Amino acid sequence: MSTSNPDHIKGLLITALGVLFIVPDSLMVRLIDTDGATVAFWKSLVVGLVTGLAILIWQGPRAFRTTFGAGWPVWIYAICAGASGALFVIAVAHTSIANVVFIIAAMPLVSALFSRIALGERLSRRTAITMAVVPVGIGLIAFGSGETEGASLTGDLIALGVVCVFSLGLTAARSVRPVSVVPAIPAGMLLWALILLPFADPMSVPPGDWIWVALHGGFFIAMSTALLAIGPRFLPSAEVALLMLIESVLAPILAWVVVDEDPGLYALVGGAIVIVTLGISNLVALVQGRRVAVRPAMRP
């Protein structure tokens, strides 16, 4: 598709903006000085309320009826979207931001594997080669967690859990195309806010950190959710995947600059293997004109 196409340009700008809004996600978790379960609770609650209200205003109750009328795959997506959002916060609370975002960058590959198993979708040779190389980078990241301050194998495994859970949700969403599963997101977030409540201490947030709570869920995540639900409709999936890699590059840099979080040599080398491999893979897909899309193109 030519970049002179107005729809393509619109999709490019909206998706890129959505990715930029999600870049501070992990940093916000660091800036809120309380435990991971409490941050995850507030993120789930605020995102659920804000996105749910926005959908009611712009689309009305019918949007929810249409989405959930598609059956059990939508409920699976809702549960997985809420769970992965909470697990992302807990992963950041237990390991370095660089480790989390580099591991999560592999999500399209796991989603493709799940779609192959559950839906019978074919894996291209390009995807198979990428799947063989990316685990090398993730292995280096995990190996270095014992050497890097602030990183841990526990947090890395939780990040891997995020990848698996959300990939399962995306596979469920693919099974009900072309129904939009976006209205399922607030339902999943609010469900997980309830699940997290017994493990959280909502009022333990320091007075000066409430601004980060509001910005985290009510602005940055809500905006990225909306933009990443709209923009990728106008782009090839490989182009969306390339844009999503922006977060994997910028989030560790932002954490390094703002909170002086050194990702460590192993994370940098392993992350470079993951990002470069995925980047080359998606560039090849663009050249070949592939359009095998994972919808919605979101991140937990």
pLDDT digits (tens, 9 = 90+) for 77-119: 999 999 999 999 999 999 999 999 999 998 888 888 888 888 8
Q: Quick check: 143 pLDDT over 50?
A: yes
Read off the tokens for 285: 């897909």
pTM for this prediction = 0.89
Number of folded domains that form the chain: 1
Q: What is the pLDDT of residue 235?
A: 77
Measured at the CA of 236, the angle between CA 168 and CA 169, to 5 degrees, comes to 10
Q: Most confidently modeled of 48-62, 107-121, 168-182?
A: 48-62
Q: Are the C-beta atoms of 97 and 252 separated by less than 8 Å?
A: yes
Is 190 part of a structural domain of the chain? yes
Return the pLDDT at 290. 47
pLDDT of residue 289: 66
Q: Is residue 189 within 8 Å of 47, Cβ to Cβ? A: yes
pLDDT on residue 112: 86
> In this structure, is residue 268 part of a structural domain?
yes
The pairs formed by 4-8 with CB atoms below 8 angstroms and a separation of 24 or more are 7/234, 8/234, 8/235
Instruction: Give the chain's mean pLDDT.
Output: 89
Indicate whether 295 belongs to any domain: no
Question: Is residue 294 included in any domain, yes or no?
Answer: no
Please check the confidence at residue 39 and state whether its pLDDT lies above 50: yes
Under the banding of pLDDT at 50, 70 and 90, the label for residue 295 is very low
Cis peptide before 296 (omega within 30 of 0): yes
Whole-angstrom distance, CA of residue 211 vs CA of residue 16: 25
pLDDT surpasses 70 at 296:
no
> Residue 297: inside a domain, yes or no?
no
Residues 6+ apart with CB under 8 A from 209: 31, 32, 33, 34
Pick the residue with more confidence: 251 or 121?
251
Q: What mean pLDDT is predicted for residues 147-151?
A: 80
Task: Answer yes or no: is pLDDT of 44 > 60.
Answer: yes
Contact 40, 84 (CB under 8 A): no
Amino acid at 119: L
Which whole number is the average pLDDT over 158-172?
Answer: 92
Q: Give ∠ CA 295-186-41 in degrees, rounded to 5.
A: 115
In this structure, is residue 162 part of a structural domain? yes
Q: Using CA atoms, how far apart are residues 29 and 97, in angstroms rounded to an integer?
A: 10
High-pLDDT (> 90) share of the chain, %: 63
Say how far apart CA 66 and CA 68 lie, in whole Å. Answer: 6
For residue 46, what are the domain limits?
6-288
What is the C-alpha to C-alpha distance for residues 19 and 224, in angstroms, rounded to an integer?
Answer: 7
Asked if residue 179 belongs to a domain, the reply is yes
Q: Judge whether 299 lies within some domain.
A: no
